[in-house]
């Protein structure tokens, strides 16, 4: 089977990009001929890793959308894949059109619950632009053969918002390699903390996310003074690339020496293993990759109780779940997790067992290949 995967970029900061590069070697080893086309300039991205995995990598960067569409259409005709798979908005719009023009079947991933009330009222988003994007997405979705959603929540939400039948959507989560994640060990914890200049007894809270409104890092920073009152000397590590919220976040953290902005990191799994709790205060998610990864590492979790995160972590047997956008509730859960380490460890062990039964890369790759096979057999109606 030959799959041409079309994605917006190969930047290292996005969950979709990370999911693709994690799965690529397994797809190729399973016999998939994989080509990857990316539409935006991605210096220092995942090109080398994809090439090493055995995928063909094709940059399709042009100044205008029309030229990108034409170049992508030419690539589909030249490579003649059995299936085109699109992920993220720009790739969905242009990739679907290119595949249909070239006579190739196309499938799309639904990685977030877009176009909902939370997006219409999000800081920095224009409601009319959200609705215009939804209209274009829904129109191009009609010619798409099948859809892949990261969670049942995303599948149910997007079926209505894109006007597609729910039975045309398969749910397949992202996965990670347990060997790559590693686990929490005293040696790993000590080494990472030493590199950060942190003593072993310092309470450490980590958030690993882009600095965007969706991720709710402002809620975490508003909660932080209350956490410090309960756990004096605690440190908050923020790992992730700058974004639209960076200025606001730095203003909220001004004067707080206990908050460290680490920027984008290639050692997030090590940071998790060195932390006492991972905070995921998102306003919405498609799956919650950081939470899923923390489950695999075995670090205690405090998450916003939004549908996709609850679906990923399971229940409060595996993580503390708090109402979104409520700093006081978030602070109380973080403080309790730092205080009651025994209960936190029990939840973390249960969460790792859940990860091993639901989110390993081997399992997820098999499910994705099954999705491809079904998509080639079944036509959209």
Q: pLDDT tens, 45-103?
A: 999 999 999 999 999 988 888 999 999 999 999 999 999 999 999 999 999 999 999 99
Q: List beta partners, residue 169.
A: 147
Q: List beta partners, residue 301.
A: 278
CA–CA distance from 146 to each of 117, 182, 212 (Å)? 26, 34, 30
Residue 264 pLDDT greater than 50, yes or no: yes
**Stated pTM of the model:** 0.92
CA-to-CA distance for 53 and 21, rounded, in angstroms? Answer: 9
CA-to-CA distance for 14 and 265, rounded, in angstroms? Answer: 12
Q: Which residues contact 255 (CB under 8 A, 6 or more apart)?
A: none
CA-to-CA distance for 294 and 312, rounded, in angstroms? Answer: 11
Mean pLDDT of the chain: 95
CB 134 within 8 A of CB 115: yes
Structure confidence by residue, pLDDT tens digits, 299-344: 999 999 999 999 999 999 999 999 999 999 999 999 999 999 999 9
Counts of helices then strands in the chain (DSSP H, E): 17, 13
Whether domain 178-358 has CATH 3.40.50.2000: yes
**CATH architecture, range 2-175+361-377:** 3-Layer(aba) Sandwich (3.40)
CA-to-CA distance for 308 and 287, rounded, in angstroms? Answer: 5
Phi, psi dihedral angles at 205 (to 5 degrees): -110, 135
Structure confidence by residue, pLDDT tens digits, 202-259: 999 999 999 999 999 999 999 999 999 999 999 999 999 999 999 999 999 988 789 9
Q: Which residues contact 161 (CB under 8 A, 6 or more apart)?
A: 114, 115, 116, 134, 138
Confidence of residue 120 (pLDDT cuts 50, 70, 90): confident
Residues of the chain with CATH 3.40.50.2000: 2-175+361-377, 178-358
CA-to-CA distance for 17 and 212, rounded, in angstroms? Answer: 17
């Amino acid at each position: 089977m030959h799959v041409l995967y079309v994605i917006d970029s190969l930047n290292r900061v996005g969950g979709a990009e990370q999911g693709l590069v994690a799965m690529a070697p397994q797809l190729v080893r399973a016999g998939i001929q994989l080509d990857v086309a990316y539409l935006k300039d991605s210096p220092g991205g995942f090109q080398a890793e994809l090439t090493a995995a055995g995928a063909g990598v094709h940059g399709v960067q042009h100044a205008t959308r029309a030229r990108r569409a034409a170049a992508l259409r030419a690539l589909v005709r030249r490579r003649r894949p059995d299936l085109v798979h699109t992920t993220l908005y720009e790739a969905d719009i242009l990739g679907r059109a290119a595949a249909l023009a070239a006579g190739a079947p196309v499938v799309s991933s639904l990685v977030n619950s877009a176009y909902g009330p939370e997006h219409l009222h999000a800081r920095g988003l224009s409601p009319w632009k959200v609705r215009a994007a939804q209209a274009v997405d829904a129109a191009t979705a009609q010619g798409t053969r099948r859809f892949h959603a990261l969670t049942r929540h995303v599948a149910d939400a997007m079926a209505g918002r894109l006007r597609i039948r729910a039975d045309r959507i398969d749910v397949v989560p992202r996965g990670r390699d347990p060997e790559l994640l590693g686990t929490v060990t005293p040696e790993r914890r000590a080494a990472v903390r030493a590199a950060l200049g942190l003593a072993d007894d310092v309470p450490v809270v980590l958030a690993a996310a882009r600095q965007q409104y969706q991720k709710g890092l402002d809620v975490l920073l508003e909660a932080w003074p209350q956490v410090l009152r309960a756990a004096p000397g605690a440190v908050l590590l923020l790992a992730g690339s700058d974004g639209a919220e960076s200025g606001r976040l730095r203003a909220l953290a001004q004067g707080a020496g206990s908050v460290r902005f680490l920027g984008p990191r290639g050692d997030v799994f090590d940071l998790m293993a060195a932390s006492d709790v991972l905070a995921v205060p998102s306003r919405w998610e498609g799956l919650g990759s950081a939470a899923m990864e923390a489950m695999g590492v075995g670090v205690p979790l405090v998450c916003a109780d939004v549908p996709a995160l609850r679906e990923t972590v399971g229940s409060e047997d595996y993580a503390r779940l708090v109402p979104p956008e409520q700093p006081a509730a978030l602070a109380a859960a973080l403080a309790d997790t730092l205080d009651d380490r025994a209960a936190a460890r029990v939840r973390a062990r249960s969460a790792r067992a859940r990860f091993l039964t639901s989110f390993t890369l081997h399992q997820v790759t098999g499910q994705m290949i099954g999705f491809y096979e079904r998509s080639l057999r079944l036509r959209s109606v």
